[in-house]
Amino acid sequence: MSHAHPELRNPPALAADGLRVTALGGLGEIGRNMTVFEHAGKLLIVDCGVLFPEEHQPGVDVILPDFTSIRDRMDDVVAIVLTHGHEDHIGGVPYLLQERRDIPLIGSKLTLAFIDAKLKEHKIKPVTRQVAEGDELTLGPFDLEFLAVNHSIPDALAVAIRTAAGLVLHTGDFKMDQFPLDRRITDLRGFARLGEEGVDLFLTDSTNAEVPGFTLSEEELTPAIDQVFRTAPKRVIVSSFASHVHRIQQVLDAAHHHGRKVAFVGRSMVRNMGIARDLGYLNIPKGLVVDLKVLENLPANKVAVICTGSQGEPMAALARMANRDHVIRIEEGDTVLLASSLIPGNENAIYRIINELTRWGANVVHKGNAKVHVSGHASAGELVYCYNIVKPRNVMPVHGEWRHLRSNADLAIKTGVHPKGVVVAEDGVVVDLVGGRVSITGKVPAGNVFVDGMTVGGVTEASLKDRRTLAEEGVITVVAIVDADTGKLVEPPDFLARGFVHDETTFDAVVPLIEQALARAAEEGVGTALQLEQLIQRAVGTWAHKAYRRSPMVIPVVVDA
């Protein structure tokens, strides 16, 4: 079993009969999924998603894959294949199309509808090609075949990629629910047929590889959701992913059964459910969904709200309700149902919201205390099942953190895949399939690209460090008037501090240190404003660390007298 090495360099030219696979996102993380396939001088991209920021990345909206390695080869891209409509698989597409707007987007009906609505906000009219399970399509040197897979969103697809270098099967995100709400099961017969043909490289979803057994069916949640609506004394407020059409269908059915009117709240929720309804993926009984203002005139026990914010996003509807910053004010006796999982990294934000909702008197029902959510990803038992019917020659686990990728690799080896044929890589690592064998041949840039408001890529790790320092340590601004001839202070410096605990005498001790630094500078002939500012910054920073065990941001301003 191979893995990435930090000493890897740029890869050599690809062998004429080879296939190159480079993940620019989705390996070692949950999100930002993007894989580039290269063969015969052409590129095929599968998915282009975003990663949502964690608490240590303040001010960042989303995180994109790094397009550096393909930026000068945009004309070689034959298409972007989108396996399904989740943000971590389609959210980066508008930014990639800024590089070249006419790259064809290939996907199912619902997936293309979701991405089309997103691209309208970016004023991009895409070139699209709708496909469904069973369809075959040739794009340059790539022959594609699409297979149905079950996931937590309708219309998800796996894709088989045939080239002269071999056959690749990419599962996308999937599970093997035998009783899905739309009765569209994962095409295991198709997987087995491809296995008989000979799968040279199997890219498999790793998200639940650590979870033993089989993922529960969506159907098993219906009783728990129904119980919430049956027993809730007042309003029911449901928070879910804005793309989880199946879950929202279950909520709508329960609300209708118990005589509650429903309103959608949150821009993405209203948009996506409107699309799903118009395309026939969501069945809404006539008169069930009403405007939010209508609910204000109904008894509390006849009201249900479906909103965004299941991951604790600070600006989403649920967080604003918890913070008393929303037209819907949580009251004693309300029931809040979190019909979603906890994405790693979001736990603190979610529990903080649960605490606030409980504080205002709500009964919060979530995955931890009721069976109200199942994962959309295959557990270990399902992955083993797939390995046994596909019998791949080589395996590359995708979509997961390191622990998930490792667990998935171990499962592949246990089913008989040779350890040398199992590649555990990270973002940017280049994997070549030549002569039926895989090997790591190099590495390309694949760092985080931060979107901050209207700025893409302007925020760096250094600027995020500055933001964390400001948030955690505070800032001290030092204004020093220095005599240009003597290099001495004309008067004591002024200190302006924010977020750094101090009183009137706090900075008295640092003034002599600044004077000493300036005196040394005068002796050594150091006299430019920039050099003096650096000396003052170092003196104040050292003093703050020694005296207070703090490392505030120090902003020196030297005025030449």
**pLDDT digit string, tens, across residues 332-354:** 999 999 887 766 666 777 888 88
Distance between CA atoms of residues 67 and 92, nearest Å: 10
Could you tell me how many helices (H) and strands (E) the chain has, helices first?
16, 27
Distance between CA atoms of residues 44 and 464, nearest Å: 33
DSSP 63-112: EEPP-HHHHTTGGGEEEEE-----HHHHTTHHHHHTT-TTPPEEE-HHHH
- Strand 42-46 with 77-81, pairing: parallel
**Cβ–Cβ < 8 Å for 98, 263:** no
Domain that includes residue 525, residue range: 461-560
Q: Is residue 246 part of a domain?
A: yes
Q: Is residue 139 part of a domain?
A: yes
Q: Is residue 454 part of a domain?
A: no
- 63 bridge partner residues: 51, 450
Domain stop point among 304, 332, 365: 365
Identify whether residues 183 and 61 lie together within a single domain: yes
Provide, for the chain, the percentages of residues in helix, strand and coil under a 3-state DSSP scheme, each rounded to the nearest 5. 30, 25, 45
Distance between CA atoms of residues 427 and 396, nearest Å: 12
- Burial annotation 305-314 (CB, 10 A radius, 16+ → b, else e): bbbbbbbbbe
State the Rg of the chain over Cα: 28
Find, among 294, 365, 357, the residue nearest to 322 by Cα.
Answer: 357
Predicted local confidence at residue 498, as pLDDT: 85
Q: Tell me which residues of the chain have a pLDDT lower than 70.
A: 1-6, 54-56, 58-59, 312, 314, 342-346, 453-455, 457-459, 466, 470, 561
The per-residue pLDDT for range 150-185, each reduced to its tens digit, is 999 999 999 999 999 999 999 999 999 999 989 999
Distance between CA atoms of residues 232 and 234, nearest Å: 6
Distance between CA atoms of residues 193 and 199, nearest Å: 10
Predicted local confidence at residue 212, as pLDDT: 96
- Token pair 């199942």 is found at 374
Predicted local confidence at residue 427, as pLDDT: 95
**Cβ–Cβ < 8 Å for 203, 79:** no
Identify whether residues 442 and 465 lie together within a single domain: no
Tokens of 345: 């990294």
Q: Is residue 348 part of a domain?
A: yes
Q: Is 391 exposed, middle or buried (0-12, 13-18, 19+ CB in 10 A)?
A: middle
CATH code, domain with 232? 3.40.50.10710
Q: Helix, strand or coil for residue 118?
A: helix
Identify whether residues 472 and 517 lie together within a single domain: yes
Identify whether residues 20 and 120 lie together within a single domain: yes
Find, among 498, 547, 534, 490, the residue nearest to 515 by Cα.
Answer: 490
Predicted local confidence at residue 73, as pLDDT: 96
**Cβ–Cβ < 8 Å for 174, 204:** no
Distance between CA atoms of residues 410 and 414, nearest Å: 6
Domain stop point among 419, 448, 477: 448
End-to-end Cα spacing for the chain: 67
Q: Helix, strand or coil for residue 262?
A: strand
The number of folded domains in the chain is: 3
Predicted local confidence at residue 524, as pLDDT: 77
Q: Is residue 501 part of a domain?
A: yes
Identify whether residues 134 and 235 lie together within a single domain: no
114-123 contacts at long range (C-beta below 8 A, 24 or more positions apart) = 114/85, 114/90, 114/243, 114/272, 114/275, 115/82, 115/85, 115/90, 117/271, 117/272, 117/275, 118/90, 118/91, 118/93, 118/94, 119/93, 119/94, 121/94, 122/94, 122/97, 122/98
Measured CA to CA in angstroms, residue 353 lies from 266, 313, 360, 366 at distances of: 17, 10, 11, 12
Identify whether residues 135 and 165 lie together within a single domain: yes
Identify whether residues 176 and 273 lie together within a single domain: no
Distance between CA atoms of residues 19 and 168, nearest Å: 10
- Strand 62-64 with 335-338, pairing: unpaired
Query: How many Cα atoms occupy the beta-carbon half-sphere of 15 within 13 Å?
Result: 16
Q: Is residue 22 part of a domain?
A: yes
Distance between CA atoms of residues 110 and 118, nearest Å: 13
- 144 bridge partner residues: 137, 161
Residue 227 CB neighbour total at 10 angstroms: 15
Distance between CA atoms of residues 35 and 378, nearest Å: 20
Identify whether residues 354 and 386 lie together within a single domain: no
Tokens of 255: 């609300």
The per-residue pLDDT for range 492-528, each reduced to its tens digit, is 888 888 888 777 788 888 899 888 888 888 877 777 8
CATH code, domain with 513? 3.10.20.580
Distance between CA atoms of residues 533 and 480, nearest Å: 9
Distance between CA atoms of residues 267 and 253, nearest Å: 22
Measured CA to CA in angstroms, residue 50 lies from 26, 39, 139 at distances of: 9, 25, 25
**Phi and psi torsions of 480, nearest 5°:** -120, 125
